[in-house]
Amino acid sequence: MAIAPPALLADNRGMHRPPPPAARRCRPLHRARHSLCALALLLASPASASAADEFRTGNWAAVVRDGHAENSIDSLILAGRAQLSIAGYQTADKARAMAIIAAAEADFDKALARAPGNVEAQLQKAVAIAYRAQLTRGIGLAKDVRRRFEAIRTAHPENSLVWGALGGWHGGAVATVGSFLAGTVLGAKKSEMERCYAQALRLAPGLPSTRTFFAITLLDLDPANATRAAALLKGIETLPAEDGFEAMMKQQGIELAASIARGNATSAQATARRLKAFSRLG
């Protein structure tokens, strides 16, 4: 709590200044009046949710609005992340999704202009580029994403999210174009997917998003991976979700686990693919 400097507490004679008129009116004569005054002051200054509050509840549109209004490094990153969630999971039009991704990337760029070393902004900008690469099938963009992820991992090997992002990059590339082309053109490997996701799980075993993304990737690659995916998702309903994104990923994990439990691996693969980002696009 900030403490007012002495000049604001006393006049030049060293005597305390009288309280302002509003405070005099609320000076309590007894406890009941004191409570009423306090209540009146609270009602006169209603609290408003911050971008961080809205992100915890997964209200993406409000995160974007409040994040831009607050215009801090952290709030801009949250606004960008919210827009990536809107583009990936709530948008059915490709052109619209691309525009939202571009807006998210602009928010990450603003954050990085103020704090070039901010790891979360660096990582989320790489995710935004990965989304553009996915929608445009841009080989150059995909290679750029890998370089960015690897640079972050080198500088911050303790960051579970970048390990998971690299696991998703390798697995997603192989699932999209096949092992041969993914390896030849992009340098993507299933073995690297396994290694990166395994390290992400070691670093953050209780993060719902890592388990869900890994399970989705495994099933996207091969319905025969249903047993492994089920093992990854076992108990996911008990894991805490620290924000709206983790809550969304947790719910996806629960849905996928239920699909696997029904015993039809092909149907489980279809569920996994439906849960992927941009599955709404025609």
User: pLDDT for 138-166, tens place per residue?
Assistant: 999 999 999 999 999 999 999 999 999 99
Q: How confident is the model at residue 49 (pLDDT cuts 50, 70, 90)?
A: confident
Cα dihedral 100, 217, 211, 127 sign: negative
Res 282: pLDDT: 67
Asked whether residue 91 is assigned to any structural domain, the reply reads yes
Let me know: does 14 contact 30? Beta carbons within 8 Å.
no
Per-residue pLDDT reduced to its tens digit, 196-205: 999 999 999 9
pLDDT of 14 higher than 80: no
Structural domain count of the chain = 1
Res 23: pLDDT: 44
Phi, psi dihedrals of residue 265, rounded to the nearest 5° = -65, -35
Total residues found in the chain within this entry = 282
Chain centroid to CA 158: 18
CA distance 136 to 254: 31
pLDDT of 10 higher than 80: no
CA distance 103 to 81: 10
Asked whether residue 89 is assigned to any structural domain, the reply reads yes
Let me know: does 243 contact 56? Beta carbons within 8 Å.
yes
Res 225: pLDDT: 98
CA distance 160 to 196: 9
Chain centroid to CA 153: 18
Asked whether residue 132 is assigned to any structural domain, the reply reads yes
Average pLDDT of 39-45?
34
Res 1: pLDDT: 40
Asked whether residue 183 is assigned to any structural domain, the reply reads no
Asked whether residue 28 is assigned to any structural domain, the reply reads no
**Residue 96 neighbours by CB under 8 Å, 6+ apart:** 87
| Bridge partners, residue 10, by sequence | 16
Angstrom CA distances, 44 to 2, 29, 115, 156, stand at: 22, 21, 36, 46
Asked whether residue 278 is assigned to any structural domain, the reply reads no
Q: First and final CA of the chain: distance in angstroms?
A: 53
Percentage, residues of the chain above pLDDT 70: 83
pLDDT of 22 higher than 70: no
Which residue is listed with tokens 């030849």? 184
> Which residue did the predictor score with more confidence, 68 or 24?
68
Asked whether residue 131 is assigned to any structural domain, the reply reads yes
Percentage, residues of the chain above pLDDT 90: 82
pTM above 0.85, yes or no: no
Angstrom CA distances, 215 to 109, 131, 226, 230, 272, stand at: 31, 19, 8, 7, 8
The whole-chain average pLDDT of the chain stands at 88
Res 92: pLDDT: 97
Res 48: pLDDT: 53
Which of these, 155, 154, 259, 262, lies nearest to 215 by C-alpha position?
259
Determine the structural domain holding residue 97 and report its residue range. Answer: 50-136
| Bridge partners, residue 211, by sequence | none
> Which residue did the predictor score with more confidence, 105 or 16?
105
27-31, 194-198, 219-223, range with the lowest pLDDT: 27-31
Average pLDDT of 75-93?
98
Asked whether residue 164 is assigned to any structural domain, the reply reads no
Average pLDDT of 101-129?
98
